[in-house]
Structure 1
């Protein structure tokens, strides 16, 4: 009888979700356009940054430096006069303005150390921070290549060979798309369960459930399995159709093993969503409470920045959060092709954290229902 009640109540949750168009739009958006946008809209590397060059030397070396700036890192350089440099930057036309002084090539061949001025529009923080190093590397590379024909430069004693593992193309799309799917799993699990509970309270259907021969455990278990199923199906479709199909990201490890870990993670996060739904009295309160809980979970889980770069106290504290372990196992499986023998500690941690959150949420849920009765 208990299993039948859990099954029928879960089907009721699915029907209720199907009649909520806003939640359906959120689910579709979170696992399609949101994933694509996060993977492609904000490039980590420089992309078509506008640059202007003041060439006061007019030498073969300065021409070589000008020709070294081209897409996709930079837009086609605009050759300008010196008096237009500040004017163009004030108007926001250029992110970088490179000024090559007169007699630059002659002073360089004479053994002097001439200077090249680089002006940067620091209000464009992303391009300014990354592009500074790009410009310096390009200029130094062209100068070195030019001097090799005029001087006998010593060969470096060590040749550094780079081998990028797990992402040989250093493609940010491979990282951004998968991490967005992982983040949206946590977000939707909390939102769907918490919103379902608050929606029932606002519509008065909780009182109807209290008149039925069902227990708080059955009500909560039904909400958990229904929302877990919805997010799990959406995750599977997103990985196959959006990540692998649309974006062309290769998945190294076992998708079924990842989905198994996702089930344990969803068990914990849906329980957390129910707990937050019992604390909040309305949807606006739930939204504010969600920002206070979800943002620290996402930022400090290791998905945005490595955990090793965080203070030690934060690292130990975040071991109590389910998505910290989920990010570790998801990266291990999907990026590095890790098997269960590698990620089993994260599975065990998620199981214990999920059981703890479920017990805590069940006690709070019983108290809430008791107060309403």
Structure 2
């Protein structure tokens, strides 16, 4: 652990849309109590004091580029980021996603930790060549073992200790305190108190495979409690086709498409089970939010999801609607004692592996990571 004069950390984020604002908070939290001060820089997005507050950083800088302005060589952004880095005595840089990592390496001579939140970041030969060019001061982190292994497969000549996993996480206490109780959550979502509710939250997009979700629910429905509902929160280009599918499957009256719900994770206690059917989800932050709400989880068996729920949730083969249906029926028939044990195990795993404290401990023990200790 560092002393009170440890220095400064430069955190560079592409933007603060979707889950990436909390990613900035997560990585700033790694340095609580270490003596390091964190400066967080957003490449895109307008200056917003609410965003700055949520970062929990000593300093927040908005470069305010549009997505179109940082295509190509990004010369202007490189020059501006170089000025930011030179104005302060930073020890190292944490860069989220490929573009900030690229800019950070070219603009500074700092050691750079590149955090990768998706599969395929090094599929392109140009990115592999770039990574090799800066390998002496570039360390890579995947948000799950699945993402880490994808990077290792693309960079087989890199030592494994330079490509590591640091799981996404939540501030467990803060998330739990913000979540509504079951009655209030159901009132907010307009759900009957006596309904048995399957919840799903995510974009209506092929990657989320809500097609299998609808088919599995339809197959399971005859064996589910009488007032069972499937609640889908989110918007996207597949909304119309998914609604048509629900009609074709004759379950339209049992499926609620609620669209975008503000602070949806605060309503998770409305669900009796949470189902994630995604195709190769790199991690799945919604899984942690469901765990914080003590909601049992059913998850597809690919991507990073199994690393989160394999010990306490149910897994089914991606795209297998019949297997999903069996999982739903099992969830509906759980005895209270079994459900209590499942929830307790999930709560323990959440704290031990996916909390800020767990991530902080893991980060400072990573091998060959800039010799930061």
Same fold (TM over 0.5): no
Q: TM-score, normalised by structure 1?
A: 0.27
The structure whose Rg is larger is 1
Larger relative helix fraction: 1
Asked which structure has the greater RCO (Cα within 8 Å, sep 6+), the reply is: 1
- Whichever structure has more strand as a proportion of its residues is 2
